[in-house]
Amino acid sequence: MKRTLETKPQLVQISAAWNSRVGAPLGRNQYVELEIKKPKANGTSTKLPANQKPCEKMAEAIVMDGGKRGQLVKVCADPACRVHHPNTPSPQQVERERAEERKRIEKEKLAITTRHRILATILQRVSAPLKKADLLAVAHYLIGHLSYSQVPTLAKRHKVEAKKDSASAQELLAKQVGAYDESELCKLLLEISLLDSAYQRSTASSNDVLMDAAKRYRVDAEKLQKAVAVEIAATRNKKTKVKTKLEGRTTAA
């Protein structure tokens, strides 16, 4: 092989490997091995596969490794050859695509940076308490991000009922709160924030936001609990009375 290279130093050195390092024999991704057959006498060479067609850039190569080590073959290693590398974009096309990509990235960067600047300017100008349109924006955001279980709960509390073939409960809620005034919107924001805490049965959690809010609003939780206990007992008594009455009737009959 060494002697072959000495006698034919112009040979292209190729590798059986797909990829190769710079300076090493060309990897298979960089050349197409050609199988040029002698043209038939009747000249039916038009529909040959690409690797059986010759081209101007065709060169003789020597396989440097693998099972065909030392063999001389014909290759085309020119990425600009339209016959053997039809999918390789031209350098001009690559440059144009790169320029377009750069332009697109710059445009995106400009847009997002501007939006960040807009947010910063809004936040500079916002003042407490929030105005109605701001409260509505927060309410719409929260409604849009309700959890799966929160949607029916909140919908029921606001007497919103999603019927079949109509908008979703979330959409109906968003629409309905659009008509709320400031005080209703304020209530809604706190309501959503306390929803999970109010609907969970166990009060073991260390940060009980409902009870924290109750303290802030001077709600006497113990007093309320007693009142609820009395109500539940009363309802139970009523039910038992009705039940015993009915039972008495059936036994009498």
CB nearer Zn ion, residue 83 or residue 189 = 83
Q: Map residues 74-93 to x or -, x wherever contact with Zn ion holds by CB under 5 A.
A: --x----x-xx---------
CB of 26 to Zn ion, least distance (A): 14
CB nearer Zn ion, residue 58 or residue 174 = 58
CB of 14 to Zn ion, least distance (A): 14
How many residues touch Zn ion under the rule CB under 5 A: the total is 6
Q: In this structure, what are the phi and psi dihedrals at residue 26, rounded to the nearest 5 degrees?
A: -60, 135
3-state secondary structure of 246: helix
Binding of Zn ion by 186 (CB under 5 A): no
CB of 83 to Zn ion, least distance (A): 5
CB of 81 to Zn ion, least distance (A): 3
Cα separation of 49 and 81, whole Å? 15
What's the CA dihedral at 237, 239, 244, 247 to 10 degrees? -170
Q: From start to end of the chain, where are the E strands?
A: 12-14, 32-34, 59-63, 72-76
Piece of the chain touching Zn ion by CB under 5 A; list 61-69, 70-78, 88-96, 194-202: 70-78
Cα separation of 216 and 22, whole Å? 72
CB of 59 to Zn ion, least distance (A): 9
CB nearer Zn ion, residue 55 or residue 195 = 55
CB nearer Zn ion, residue 58 or residue 177 = 58
3-state secondary structure of 51: helix
Can you tell me which residue has the tokens 């929160």?
150
Q: From start to end of 88-199, where are the E strands?
A: none
CB of 88 to Zn ion, least distance (A): 11
Residue 134: C-alpha distances to residues 121, 123, 154, 196 (Å): 15, 12, 21, 24
Interface positions, 5-64, toward Zn ion (CB under 5 A): 55, 57
CB nearer Zn ion, residue 57 or residue 68 = 57
Instruction: List residues near Zn ion by CB under 5 A.
Output: 55, 57, 76, 81, 83-84
